[in-house]
Chain A
Amino acid sequence: MRPKIRVSAIIILVTLILAAWQLSYTWRYVKMSPEKKELIPKSALKKLRDKAIRLGLDLQGGMHIVLEVDVSKLTEDERKGARDRALEILRNRIDQFGVSEPSIAKQSANRIVIQLPGVVDRVRAKELIGRTAQLEFRLIEKGETTDEILKKIDELVYKKQLGEAEDTLEVFENPLLSLFYRRRIAERDITLFNEYLNIDGVSQIIPTDDELLWSKPAEIEGERYLEPLLVKKKVCLKGDAIVDARAAIGTPKNPVGSRVDLTMTTQARRKWARITGANVGRRIAIVLDGIVQSAPVVIERIAGGKSMIEMGASPFKEAQDLALIIRSGALPAPVKIVEERSVGPSLGIDSIKSGVRSMYIGGIAVLLFMIIYYAACGALADFILFFNILFLLAILSGFSATLTLPGIAGIVLVIGAGVDANVLIFERIREELAAGKTTRAAIDAGFRRAFRTIIDANVTTFLIAIILYYFGRGPIKGFGITLAIGITVNIFTAMVMTKLVLDFIASKGIKKISI
Chain B
Amino acid sequence: MIAIFKNPKFNFIGIQRYTFALSGALIIAGIVSLVLHHGPKYGIDFTGGSIVELHFDQEVKVSDIREKLSEIGLQDAIIQAEKGINHNYLIRTIPKEGVGDEIAKLFSPTPIVEREELVGPSISEGFRQKAFLVVLLGMLVILIYVSIRFTFRFGVTAVIALIHDVLITIGIFSLLDKEFNTAIIAALLTIIGYSINDSIVLSDRVRENLKILRKSPFSEIINTSINQTLSRTIITSLTTIFVLLAIFLFGGRVIHDFALAMLIGVVVGTYSSIFIVAALVVEWEKISPSRTTRR
Contact = CB atoms under 8 A, between A and B. Distances in A.
Interface residues of A, number: 76
A361 B146 contact: no
A347 interface: yes
Contacts of B231: 427
Interface string A398-440: 0000000110110011011101100110010011001000000
Given A355-B255, A358-B247, A471-B130, A465 B193 contact: yes
Interface string A247-288: 000000000000000000000000000000000000000000
A317 to B, nearest CB: 16
Contact of A342 (B3, B116, B146, B251): B116
Contact of A427 (B232, B238, B246): B232
Interface in B134-160: 134, 137-138, 141-142, 145-146, 149
A66 B122 CA distance: 11
Contact of B197 (A126, A420, A475): A420
B240 A463 contact: no
A365 B246 contact: yes
B236 A483 contact: no
A161 B100 CA distance: 39
A347 B115 contact: yes
Interface string B242-280: 111111011110110011001000000000000000000
B287 interface: no
Interface stretch (B61-69, B166-174, B182-190): B182-190
A338 B183 contact: no
Interface of A is mostly: helix
B232 A406 contact: no
Contacts of B112: 344, 346
A2 to B, nearest CB: 29
B239 A409 contact: no
A459 B141 CA distance: 11
Contacts of B146: 460
Interface string B1-26: 11100010000000000000000000
A43 to B, nearest CB: 35
A467 B189 contact: yes
Contact of A423 (B7, B235, B250): B235
B251 A355 contact: yes
Interface of B: 1-3, 7, 53, 97-98, 100-101, 112-120, 122-123, 127, 130, 134, 137-138, 141-142, 145-146, 149, 182-183, 186, 189-190, 192-194, 196-197, 200-201, 204-205, 208, 228, 231-232, 235-236, 238-247, 249-252, 254-255, 258-259, 262
Given A341-B117, A424-B232, 7 more contacts: A123-B101, A339-B123, A340-B97, A366-B242, A458-B197, A460-B141, A467-B189
A-B interface, 10 closest residue pairs, ranked by CB to CB distance from nearest: A362-B246, A354-B252, A464-B193, A362-B243, A416-B243, A338-B120, A461-B193, A358-B251, A340-B118, A416-B240
